[in-house]
């Protein structure tokens, strides 16, 4: 194969990497969602429970919405449903009375255990034909992509230093 073709193939592989990653993540969630429907849970209801179960303390509603990639009003309606089912509770944040803190209940933790078991089953099913070494290599690649994204977010969130006009800049029309 010619070096130019190798470069084109590598370029194509990079171009579609994110697209493939997003498709796989969506397919993985659909698999979990399909298996959990038998228990009356949908993607919308199991994901917040799953995320909250990993938190050792109550989580701000805004942080949970960000973690789930949901708009705040959508999360509020969803939390209403989960609260009525007894899976979560919301309390006013004492540090910021405008914020609500969400925590998982004991009943919610039981549901989270079920979700974890189903997710583990989906993982086993989808990765059955993949060796431990291949999974490790893939995990390392994904870790590096995640680290690059985090570094970019941190860099992008840094304030841009303002350049104060020096006396030479002020009113200097001559070259």
How much is the mean pLDDT over the chain? 88
8 A C-beta contact, residue 61 and residue 73: no
Q: How many Cβ atoms from other residues are within 10 Å of residue 85's Cβ?
A: 16
Let me know if residue 29 belongs to a domain: yes
Adjacent-strand bridge partners of 88: 104
Let me know if residue 2 belongs to a domain: no
Q: What range defines the domain where residue 64 resides?
A: 9-155
Is a pLDDT exceeding 90 seen at residue 11?
Answer: no
Widest distance between CA atoms in the chain: 77
Q: How many Cβ atoms from other residues are within 10 Å of residue 132's Cβ?
A: 8
Task: Give the domain CATH number at 18.
Answer: 1.10.10.10
Q: What is the reported pLDDT for 90?
A: 95
The per-residue pLDDT for range 142-159, each reduced to its tens digit, is 999 999 999 998 888 888
Mean pLDDT of 45-57: 91
Let me know if residue 88 belongs to a domain: yes
How many residues would you count in the chain?
Answer: 175
Let me know if residue 174 belongs to a domain: no
Let me know if residue 168 belongs to a domain: no
Name the residue with higher pLDDT: 35 or 161: 35
Let me know if residue 87 belongs to a domain: yes
The per-residue pLDDT for range 83-102, each reduced to its tens digit, is 999 999 999 888 888 889 99
Is a pLDDT exceeding 90 seen at residue 168?
Answer: no
Task: Report the candidate in 103, 115, 114, 112 with the shortest Cα–Cα distance to residue 64.
Answer: 103
Is a pLDDT exceeding 60 seen at residue 169?
Answer: no
Model-level pTM? 0.73
Q: How many domains does the chain have?
A: 1
Cβ neighbours for 45, distance < 8 A, ≥ 6 positions apart? 78, 81, 82
Q: What is the reported pLDDT for 23?
A: 96
Let me know if residue 42 belongs to a domain: yes
Spatial distance between the Cα atoms of 119 and 29, rounded to a whole number of angstroms: 9
8 A C-beta contact, residue 108 and residue 58: no
Q: What is the reported pLDDT for 142?
A: 95
Position 173 confidence tier, pLDDT thresholds 50, 70, 90: very low
Q: What is the reported pLDDT for 114?
A: 96
Let me know if residue 23 belongs to a domain: yes
């Amino acid at each position: 194969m010619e070096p130019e073709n190798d470069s084109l193939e590598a370029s194509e592989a990079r171009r579609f990497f994110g697209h493939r990653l997003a498709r796989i993540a969506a397919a993985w969630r659909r698999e979990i969602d399909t298996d959990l429907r038998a228990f009356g849970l949908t993607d919308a209801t199991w994901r917040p429970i799953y995320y909250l179960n990993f938190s050792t303390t109550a989580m701000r509603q805004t942080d949970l919405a960000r973690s789930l990639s949901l708009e705040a009003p959508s999360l509020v309606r969803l939390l209403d449903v989960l609260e009525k089912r007894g899976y979560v509770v919301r309390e006013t944040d004492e540090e910021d009375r405008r914020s609500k803190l969400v925590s998982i209940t004991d009943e919610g933790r039981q549901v989270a255990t079920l979700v974890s078991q189903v997710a583990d089953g989906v993982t086993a099913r989808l990765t059955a034909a993949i060796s431990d070494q291949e999974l490790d290599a893939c995990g390392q690649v994904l870790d590096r992509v995640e680290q690059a994204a985090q570094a970019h977010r941190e860099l992008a969130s840094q304030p841009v230093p303002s350049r104060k006009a020096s006396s030479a800049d002020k009113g200097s029309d001559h070259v």
